[in-house]
């Protein structure tokens, strides 16, 4: 008998309101969403639709104004700030549109930059990750010596350093061409196969098609049917 995968991320009735002086900006309204463990979900929507806000709430970078964010059964609202920091470090790998590599550090050093592990073990893992993202021969190179797509692969390796259960990627292919972007997607598919949950924000229809499921946001609301 096929067992249903255990839900990993559950959002219930999420509202996010940014207070802007007299004007409130409602970034998310009534967003409910379940993402299973090991799912690769793409979030689409035009600029300002609330995509980054949604990722920030899942990643514990921000808290909802209303509603519940649960990850593996834990309600993030019950975490204090220290626990939330630990949650981010232990569970989440962030990948952003801008690669944010440190220009003076080589590729291997950039991957190891968080220093949340002992040096020897860290070095071994970093080397394996650099290999996994296909940059084996480039470990001693500086970011400036790499193409945009290669730099993004380094940023992904860095995000994986702590073996996150969830990778949150905010327009990771926004600064590279679609063809190179496809290499990034292949990498995400590989990660998914090894048990990681992926939530990817993208404008790019072509990129989104490779996810298991696409969710579209408009004006802070989910407009696609959501099983
Ligand atoms: N820190 C903030 N303060 C005030 N308004 C914000 C903030 N972050 C986002 N917003 C607003 O919330 C809405 C959704 O933003 P965002 O989640 O960044 O959308 P997207 O990532 O889809 O472009 C936008 O109207 C944006 O201007
Ligand atoms: Mg955004």
Q: What is the DSSP string of the chain?
A: -PPPPPEEEEEEEEEEEEEETTEEEEEEEEEEEEEETT-EEEEE--TTSSHHHHHHHHTTSS--SEEEEEETTEEGGGS-HHHHHHHHHHHEEEE-SS----TTS-HHHHHTTT--S-HHHHHHHHHHHHHHTT-GGGTTS-GGGS-HHHHHHHHHHHHTTT--SEEEEESTTTTS-HHHHHHHHHHHHHHHHTT-EEEEE-S-HHHHTTSSEEEEEETTEE-S---
Rounded-to-integer distance, Cα 11 and Cα 13, Å? 7
- Give the pLDDT confidence of 171-196 residue by residue, as tens digits: 998 888 888 888 889 989 999 998 99
At residue 227, the pLDDT reads 45
β-strands 213-218, 92-95 pairing:
unpaired
Tell me if 97 CB under 6 Å of ligand 1. Answer: no
- Give the pLDDT confidence of 142-155 residue by residue, as tens digits: 999 999 999 999 99
- Give the pLDDT confidence of 79-131 residue by residue, as tens digits: 999 999 999 988 999 999 888 999 999 999 999 988 666 777 789 999 999 99
Mean pLDDT of the 38-51 span: 94
At residue 204, the pLDDT reads 85
How remote is the CA of residue 51 from the centroid of ligand 2, in Å?
A: 5
At residue 117, the pLDDT reads 62
Tell me if 18 CB under 6 Å of ligand 1. Answer: yes
Which of the ligands is closest to the CA of residue 216?
1
Rounded-to-integer distance, Cα 137 and Cα 151, Å? 14
How remote is the CA of residue 87 from the centroid of ligand 2, in Å?
A: 22
Which residue out of 18, 46, 59, 204 has the highest number of ligand 1 atoms within 8 Å of its CB and is therefore the one to mutate? 18
How remote is the CA of residue 151 from the centroid of ligand 2, in Å?
A: 20
CATH classification number, 39-63+89-222, choose in 3.40.50.300, 3.40.190.10, 1.10.10.520, 3.90.950.10: 3.40.50.300
- CA distances to 99, 137, 169, 179, 188 from 174, in Å: 11, 26, 11, 12, 15
**Does 1 score more than 90 pLDDT?**
no
Tell me if 53 CB under 6 Å of ligand 1. Answer: yes
Rounded-to-integer distance, Cα 172 and Cα 70, Å? 24
pTM of the model: 0.92
Nearest CA, atom 11, ligand 1 = 27
Tell me if 1 CB under 6 Å of ligand 1. Answer: no
Mean pLDDT of the chain: 91
Mean pLDDT of the 15-37 span: 94
Which sequence spans correspond to the domains of the chain?
39-63+89-222
Rounded-to-integer distance, Cα 219 and Cα 215, Å? 13
Instruction: Classify residue 48 as exposed, middle or buried by CB count within 10 Å of its CB (0-12, 13-18, 19+).
Output: middle
**Does 212 score more than 50 pLDDT?**
yes
At residue 80, the pLDDT reads 94
**Buried/exposed code over 158-168 (b: 16+ C-beta within 10 A; e: otherwise):** bbbbbebbbbb
Tell me if 216 CB under 6 Å of ligand 1. Answer: no
For residue 171, the ligand 1 atom closest to its alpha carbon is 21
């Amino acid at each position: 008998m096929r067992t249903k995968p255990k839900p990993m991320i559950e959002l219930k009735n999420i509202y996010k309101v940014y207070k802007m002086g007299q004007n409130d900006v409602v970034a998310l309204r009534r967003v409910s969403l379940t993402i299973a463990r090991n799912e690769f979900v793409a979030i689409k929507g035009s600029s300002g639709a609330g995509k980054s806000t949604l990722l920030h709430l899942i990643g514990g970078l921000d808290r909802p104004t209303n509603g519940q964010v649960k990850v593996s059964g834990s309600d993030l609202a019950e975490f204090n700030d220290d626990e939330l920091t630990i949650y981010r470090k232990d569970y989440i790998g962030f990948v952003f549109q801008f690669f944010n590599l440190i220009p003076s550090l080589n590729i291997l050093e950039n991957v190891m930059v968080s220093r949340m592990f002992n040096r020897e073990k860290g070095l071994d893992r970093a080397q394996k990750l650099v290999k996994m993202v296909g940059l084996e021969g480039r470990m001693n190179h500086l970011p400036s010596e790499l193409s945009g797509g290669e730099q993004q692969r380094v940023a992904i390796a860095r995000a994986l350093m702590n073996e996150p259960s969830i990778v949150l990627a905010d327009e990771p292919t926004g600064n590279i061409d679609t063809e190179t972007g496809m290499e990034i997607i292949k990498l995400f598919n590989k990660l998914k196969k090894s048990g990681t949950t992926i939530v990817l924000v993208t404008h790019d229809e072509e990129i989104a098609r490779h996810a298991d499921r696409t969710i579209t946001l408009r004006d802070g609301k989910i407009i696609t049917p959501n099983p």
